[in-house]
Structure 1
Amino acid sequence: MAVVVSEIAVAFEGAGGGAGELTWGQLGIWRRTQQTGRTMNLVVHMPLEPGVPVAELAGMLRFLVSRHPALRTRLRFVAAPDGGLRPQQVIAEAGKVPLRIVDLDDGDELVAAVEEQRSRYELDFFDYEREFPIRMAVIRQSGTPVHLVIGYSHVLLDGVGIRALAGDLEHFDRAGGEAGVATAPPPEVPSPLDVAQAQGAPSGRRQSSRALRYWAAQLDRLTGWQAAEPAVGEEPRYWELVGYSPAMELGMRAVAARTGVGTTHVLLAAYAVAVSRVFGRDPSLAQIVVGNRFRPGFAELASQISQHGICVVDVADAAFDEVVARAEKAVTGASFAGYYDPVECDALLAQVAAQRGRPLGIEWHLNDRRDNAGAGERDGVVPDARDVDEVLPLSKWYWGRKVPVFDGALFIQVDSEPLVPERRIPGVTPPAVHLEIWIDTRSFAVAQIEAFAREMEAVVVEAARA
C-alpha cells in the first residue's frame, strides 16, 4: 500500500480560557484509564460526500474546536495531598490542531486504511499535557477525499457530547471553506470549568452526598454471590461475544408498547432475569451510563459529564412486566444518583468491601448506546409476536475480539448499528440490536456467557409472545 501522510495546522480561537479542577465525569474517566490501562478513546468515521474539499473539512475542524471549550482542553498535573500528582484542566483560547491527510493510490485498499487509522486513534493515548483532545484524519484516494476519521479523548468528551457536536454542525457554513464560518452563536451552555466549579460548591457537595447515600442503599440490597461455574482464565484475558438480534429489538418494542416504558427499561429487565436464571444472582446488579443531560443547562453541552449509575433489580416471584416496572424505577433512581464525586464513591466502595471482607463484584456494566432507546422506535409501528418469531432465525452469536486489557468483569454495549464496519449486515435488514458482550475470562466461563446472551434474547421473545 502506497500511503503518504501529511498534516495541515488548523488555527482556532474561542472564549472561556482558564484553568481549574476536573469535572466529576472527567475525573472518573481519568481514574478509569489509570486503573485499567485503556485509552477509552472514542472514534467515529464516515464516508464523505463526493466533491467535499479538504478546505471545508479544515473549516469544520476550526468551527468545532473554536466553539466548544472541551475540544480546547489539555491537562496539567499539580501536587496532590498524598504526595503524588493530580490532574487539572486547562482551556486554551487560541492555538492549533492538526488535520491529518492520508493519501492512497487508486489500487490501495480503502477499508484497510480506514481501519488502520481508526485503530491508531482508538489505541494510542493522547498526550494530555500537549495534545488537544480531538484528532481528525481525511483519507484521500487519488487526490479525492473519500473518508473521515475522528478520534476524541473520552476523558474530556462523552458519547452524548459527540452527538451535541454533530447537532451544532447545523450552524456550520459549508460554503465558508477553511474559515470555519458559523451561522449562529455557540450554544449557551456552561463551560467545563463552570461545571467543575459548581460541583465543588456547597450545593454540589450536597448533591454528591445524596447520590452516595443512594449508592450505599443499593449496595445494602446485594447478597453474596459467586459464579457457579469456575472461570479458567484465557489469554488474551478479555473476550468479546458479538450478538445480532432483530428478535430482541422487535420484542423489546412490543413489550415497551404494552407496558408504556422505553426499550431501555425492557433491556434492563431482560438482563436482570437472565442474570438470575444463568448466574443465580438475584437481585441483579448493573452499572449504567448516566449522560446527565437532563440537568439544567446541560442539554447541548459537549463535554465529559457522564457517570456510572447503579441499578439493582429484584426479579424473585415477579412476572416479566413487573420486572420491567422495577427496572424503570431502578434506572430513574440510578440517573438521579449518577452525579457525584468519583473519589468519594471509590472510597465508599472500598469501605463497604472491607466491612464485608470480600470484593463487591459490581463491575458489571450495561451500556445502552442506542439513540432514543432504539432504532425505529419512534416510527409508531408496534411489532407483534409473529413479527418477532419471523426474524428469530436471523440471530447471530459469535466470539469476536480478544484483548489483554478491558474494563470490568462484564461489560455489555448495545447499539442500533455495529461500530465495527465489517459487522454490518448487507442489504435491507430489519431493525436489530447489536451487542458487544465483553467478559473477563478470569471471572466467567465462556460457555456460561454464551448461555447468558441467548437467555437475554429468549426472555424478550417469551415476553413478546405473552
Structure 2
Amino acid sequence: MAEQIMVAFEGEGAGVDDLSWGQLDLWMAMRRQNSWLPMGGATPLPDDTSLADVVENLRYLMSRYQPMRTRLRFDADDRPSQVVSSSGEIALDVVEAGDDDDPAELADAMRRRYEETDYDYVTQWPMRMGVVVRSGRPTHLVAIMCHLVTDGSGAAVMIAESGARVATPVKGMQPLEQARWQRSPAGVRQNEAALRYWERLLRTIPSRRFAGSDDPRQPRHWRGEFRSQALHLATQAIAARAGMDASPVLMAVYGVALHRMTGINPVVFRPTVNNRFRPALADVVCTVAESGLCALDVAGVPFSEALARTQRAAMTAYKHAYFHPVHLQDLIASVAAERDPDFDLGCFYNDRRITTRAGATGPAPTPDQIREALSGGNTTFRWTIRQDDPFERLFVHIDDVPDTIQITVFMDTHFVSPGDAEAFLRGMEEVAVEAALDLVPQGQTR
C-alpha cells in the first residue's frame, strides 16, 4: 500500500475546445484498440534524489505542459472535447521498501498496476506517478501517462526540459490553439488538400493489404519482438553508400519485405508522421503525429530503385498526413462502399526512434561484419503478448535501442498468421542484407 502526497500545480492556459487533429487521431485509435495506451515506465533514481525533488518534478510537469492538465468532456453524441485546467492537485504515491523487499520489483509492480488500472478520461489527470523509497531515500520513479498527453517526439522534449528545469515559455502551438487554427481558412485548405491526395490513392490502390491468415488463433491479437544486429549493420551500410540517413532505407526494406510476404503491389501502408516539420509544431509537447498513406511500387526492381521510389512516395505521404481524422474516416467509408465492403488500410509503420534514428557516425559496416552478425546468433524473435483486446491488422514499430534494430510487431492473427509475421520480420533482415552485400534475389535482375 502506498501513502500519498498531494501536489498542487498551476500553469498558463485553460479552456475548452474540440480535440486537435493529433488528439482525435489518437483517440480514435484508442477506441479501436480498447486501450488508453499508457506510456512511460519505471526508472532507478540517482542516489542524491530527495523526495522533495520528486514532488517538484511532478509539480513542474503538471504546471508547464497544458496536455498534462487536460481531461475530456463528452457531449450527448459521445463526441470528446479537450478541457484544459489552469490549476489543480494530483497524488504522488509513495511506497516504502522494507528490508526484505527489492525496490526494483516494487517499482515494476507499481508500473503494472498503473498500466492495468482503467483510466477515467473525465475525472482523472492523465499522469500517474509514484516513487519507491527505502529509509526515506527515493530509489525508483514510476511515471505512466495516457498517450493523449503527447507522442514520442513530444515526450523527448518533455524529458529534456524537465531534466534541465527549463523555465522559458513552452514552445509551439498548444492543442487549444491548434484546434482553433484547424478551423481557420488555412486549416481547412490543409485538410482539403490532404483529403484530395487520399482520395486519389484510395480509388486506385488494391482494396486489401493481406491475402488472409491460414492460422487464425485465440486469443486473436499477438505482439512479438524481433532483434537483428545484421539488419542494423546492413541498413547502415546501404545508407552510407547512398549518402543518406538510415530511416528511409529501413522504410524501403519494410516495403520490399511486405511485398514479398503478401504478393500485393503496390505496397500500401500508413507511416506514422510526427508533423513536427510544420510551423509552430517543431518542439511542442502534445500529440500531433498522424498516420499518413504511402503507396510503393517495388515489384521486380533493384533495391536502389525501390529506395528512390520510397523517398519520393514518403515525402508526398508526409505532406498529406495532417488532416481531420473524422473527415478521413468518412472518406474511407465512402470509397469502401463503392469499391469493396472489406476495403482496409490496417497496415502501419512507425519508426519511433529518437536518439538512435540518425544511426552510426563512424565508418560504414563492412560485408564481413554483416556476415558475422548474420551467422553469429544475434537475430532473435519472441512472442510477448496474446490478448483478446484488438490491435491493428499489422503494426510495426521500430524501437529506440542502440546498436541493433528492434522491431515490435502487433497483428491480428485472423489477417496475418504468427508464422507469416515472423517470416516477414526475418524477411526484412534478408532484404537489407541482400542489398548491402549487393546480392540479387532469384528472379530479379540488377
What TM-score comes out, normalization by structure 2 length?
Answer: 0.93
User: How many angstroms apart in 2 are the aligned matches of 1:400 and 1:333?
Assistant: 35
Counterpart position of 1:73: 70
Q: 1:338 is aligned with what amino acid?
A: A
- Please name the residue that 2:42 is paired with: 45
| Residues in 2 aligned to 1:378 and 1:295: alpha-carbon distance in whole angstroms | 27
- Residues 1:100 and 1:275: Cα distance change in structure 2 (over 3 Å): same
Measured after TM superposition, the shift of residue 402 of structure 1 is: 1.1
| Aligned mates of 1:57, 1:88 — CA distance in 2 | 31
In structure 2, the CA distance between the partners of 1:234 and 1:99, relative to structure 1 (3 Å rule), is same
Q: Which runs of 5+ in 2 are unaligned?
A: 439-446
Alignment correspondent of 1:455: 427
Shift of 1:217: 2.1
| Aligned counterparts of 1:452 and 1:352: Cα–Cα separation in 2 | 29
Q: Which runs of 4+ in 1 moved over 4 A?
A: 224-229
**Among 146, 169, 182, the residue aligned to 2:162:** 169
Does structure 2 conserve the Cα–Cα contact (< 8 Å) formed by 1:251 and 1:464?
yes
SS of alignment partner, residue 79 of structure 2: strand
Per-residue displacement from partner, 1:380-438 (whole Å, max 9, x unpaired)? 33212222112123111122211211321111111132xxxxxxxxxxxx710111111
**Does 2:326 correspond to 1:333?**
no
Q: 1: CA distance between counterparts of 2:280 and 2:176?
A: 14
Q: Which residue of 2 is the match for residue 185 of structure 1? A: 168
Report the alpha carbon displacement of residue 360 of structure 1 after superposing the two structures with TM. Answer: 2.1
Question: What SS does structure 2 have at the residue aligned with 1:85?
Answer: coil
Give the superposition deviation at 1:142: 4.3
| Of 265, 268, 278, the match for 2:251 | 268
Equivalent in 372, 376, 381 of residue 390 of structure 1: 372
SS in 1 for 2:224: strand
1:401 corresponds to which of 385, 388, 395:
385
Superposed counterparts of 1:315-326, under 5 Å: 315-326=298-309
Q: Distance in 2 between matches of 1:263 and 1:356?
A: 37
1:314 and 1:55 mapped to 2: Cα distance? 57
Q: Alignment partner of 2:61: what SS?
A: helix
Determine the structure 1 residue equivalent to 2:443. Answer: none
SS at match of 1:157: coil
2:285 paired residue number: 302
Q: 2:344 aligns with which of 361, 365, 389?
A: 361
- Amino acid in structure 1 at the alignment position of 2:318: S
Question: Residue type of the partner of 1:384?
Answer: T
Cross-structure match for 1:212: 195
Partner of 2:444: none
Query: In 2, Cα distance between the equivalents of 1:357 and 1:267?
Result: 31
Is the 1:275–1:284 contact (alpha carbons within 8 Å) kept by the matching residues of 2?
Answer: yes
Q: Secondary structure at the match of 2:214?
A: coil
Normalising by structure 1, we get a TM-score of 0.89
Whole-angstrom distance in 2 between the partners of 1:224 and 1:85? 30
- 1:228–1:348 Cα change, 3 Å: closer
For the residue of structure 2 that corresponds to 1:8, the secondary structure is strand
> Shift of the alpha carbon at 1:62?
1.0
Within the candidate set 218, 223, 236, 1:235 is matched to 218
Residue 61 (structure 2) aligned to one of 59, 64, 70: 64
Percent identity between the aligned chains? 34
Match for residue 418 of structure 2 among 446, 449, 460: 446
| CA distance 1:336–1:121, change in 2 (3 Å) | farther
Cross-structure match for 2:95: 102
Distance in 2 between the 1:433 and 1:273 partners? 17
Give the counterpart letter for 1:447 in structure 2: G
1:229 Cα deviation (Å)?
Answer: 6.0
Alpha-carbon deviations, 1:252-292, whole Å to 9, x = none? 11111112332221111111111111211211122111111
Cα contact 2:209–2:345 (8 A) shared by 1 = no
Gaps of 5+ in 1: 173-181, 418-429
Relative to 1, partners in 2 of residues 1:228 and 1:190: Cα closer, same or farther, differing over 3 Å? closer
Give 1:223's match in structure 2, choosing from 178, 195, 206: 206
What's the secondary structure of 2:392's corresponding residue? coil
Inter-partner Cα distance in structure 1 for 2:2 and 2:424: 45
Tell me if the contact between 1:275 and 1:282 (Cα under 8 Å) persists in the aligned partners: no
Deviation at 1:30, TM superposition (A): 1.4
For the residues of structure 2 that align with 1:5 and 1:135, how far apart are their CA atoms? 13
Q: 1:373–1:283: structure 2 CA closer, same or farther, 3 Å change rule?
A: farther
Q: Given the alignment of the two structures, is residue 29 of structure 1 paired with residue 11 of structure 2, yes or no? A: no
Tell me what 2:408 maps to: 436
Contact preservation (8 Å) 1:229, 1:448: no
Distance change (3 Å), C-alpha of 1:226 and 1:308: closer
Contact 1:236/1:402 (<8 A) preserved: yes
C-alpha change, 1:167 and 1:287, in structure 2 (3 Å) is same
Alignment: residue pair count: 436
Instruction: Please point out which of 171, 174, 178 is paired with 1:195.
Output: 178
Match of 1:143 among 136, 141, 147: 136
Q: Secondary structure at the match of 2:150?
A: coil
Q: CA deviation at 1:135?
A: 1.5
C-alpha deviation, 1:363, in angstroms:
0.5
Conservation of the 8 A alpha-carbon contact between 1:222 and 1:283:
yes
Select 2:354's aligned residue among 350, 371, 374.
371
The answer to which of 231-240 and 130-139 deviates more is 231-240
* 1:293-339 Cα deviation digits (max 9, x unpaired): 11111112101111111111111231101111111122211211111
Measure, in 1, the Cα distance between the counterparts of 2:275 and 2:12.
24
State the Cα distance separating 1:89 from its structure 2 match: 1.0
